[in-house]
Amino acid sequence: MTTPIDPGFLGYQPTIEPLKLTTGASFVQTIQPSGGAVFPAGTTIAIVLTAPGGTALGSWSATVTPTAATWNVPSVTCDAIPANSRYTMLVTYQTAPPTVYAWYAGSVVRT
């Protein structure tokens, strides 16, 4: 008899990772789909930031192609984000209705 695996939660679980920002440096990141997959047409990906107290700090949209999502956020923008802020990377697929996943989430670490 096989026992079903219980993940301990329902729903999609984002990958929990810190977002590291270095004072004086741009945030540069590229994410590629794995295993030869592609991002469907119309996919959008954004990093949504909130201050430690929950105040919205804005969002950074990626440039999305079928094979990559890339960010190049200037240091003047990054330097304004305080340590211990929170971020969520939201991926939106243009289904009907649109499907939104929290792909990554975590805290901001400053170096």
The domains of the chain are located at 15-110
Average pLDDT score over the chain: 93
Q: For residue 87, is pLDDT > 90? A: yes
pLDDT level of residue 8 (50, 70, 90 thresholds): confident
Segment 39-71, tens digit of pLDDT: 999 999 999 999 999 999 999 999 999 999 999
DSSP state of 53: T
| pTM for the full predicted model | 0.88
CATH 2.60.40 fits 15-110, yes or no: yes
Element of type H or E holding 80:
none
DSSP state of 83: T
